[in-house]
Structure 1
Amino acid sequence: MADRILVPYDGSPQATEALELAFENFPDAAVIALYVIEIPVGRWAQIVGPELQLPVTERMREYAADVLESASEIATEHGRSLETEIVTGEPDHRIVAQAEEKSADLIVIGSHSQAGVSRLLLGSVAEKVVRRSPVSVLVVR
């Protein structure tokens, strides 16, 4: 059984299903909802200063907090507590890194399939997480 579960959460129906599945199927596990503020690859060149400050606006942080507040409401509905985290960067890399940093032993992620694209079963982020993760990954469709 999983003791610590990381759930990437962006407020989408797939992410909501992943969060609810984590609560319902792992009643004794600590659950962490993670929101990744995506920094597009081309924007990395705009990082300045010795501390490498990422170009993230206060509005982006507020939006992320609002999304995670909805995750906290879902946790309350299930009678569970929820830890939340906001990070910046490329989503697949940050999800894997957070799983390691938080000592998660399972990632539960929603699949974002896109019609007309060759990857019909997994969204690109979910697929990359599955490939890179050092811990087990449960993909919710």
Structure 2
Amino acid sequence: MARQLLVPMDDSEPARAALEYALSVIPDAEITVVHVVDDLEAGYGGRPPATAGGDRTEDEPEFFADVHAIAADYDSTVETAVVEGTTAEAILEYAADADVDGIVMGSEGRSGVSRMLLGSVAEAVTRRSSIPVTVVP
């Protein structure tokens, strides 16, 4: 049975690096790429609300086309999903609901005061996850 991996994505280079890492290091994994729309962004940013289950099937981010192209470069395919919530919590909830074996995510590489003030989604996921988390710089 193939490993189930979750790759949280935004439109950033660290997130793309995490996807490429997952595709190259664990080529037989079944990968789901999830994008989290922050509750405040959805509520005040003019985005349509999530469906009752929390998953959104329309209005996917444009960068998902890049996600599928990256997967094709590795002769692979990925599933995609958009969920709404607070980023770290939404990632962990999705991972638990989907019963994934691991999370592979990018890190912005913040340090010092920036990290203390802004926090880090990767750090929050790593600290609170009950499954292995690989952080790709």
Query: Would the TM-score normalized by the shorter structure come out above 0.5?
Result: yes
Q: Deviations over 1:97-136 (max 9, x none)?
A: 111111111100101133662538xx61001000111110
Matches within 5 A, 1:1-141: 3-40=3-40, 56-57=47-48, 62=59, 64-114=60-110, 117=113, 119=115, 124-141=120-137
TM-score (norm 1): 0.78
RMSD (Å) for aligned C-alpha atoms: 2.7
8 Å contact kept, 1:38–1:90: yes
Question: Where does the alignment leave 5 or more consecutive residues of structure 1 unmatched?
Answer: 47-54
Q: Deviations over 1:66-120 (max 9, x none)?
A: 1222111111111101000100010100100111111111100101133662538
In 2, the alpha carbon distance for the partners of 1:135 and 1:115 equals 25
> Whose radius of gyration is greater, 1 or 2?
1
Q: After the TM superposition, which of the residue ranges 66-75 and 24-33 deviates more from structure 2? A: 66-75
Identity, % of aligned positions: 35
Question: Where does the alignment leave 5 or more consecutive residues of structure 2 unmatched?
Answer: 50-57
Letter in 1 for 2:122: A
In 1, the alpha carbon distance for the partners of 2:127 and 2:18 equals 18
* Alignment: residue pair count: 126
SS in 1 for 2:95: helix
Q: Deviations over 1:29-56 (max 9, x none)?
A: 1011000011239x5xx9xxxxxxxx73
TM-score (norm 2): 0.80
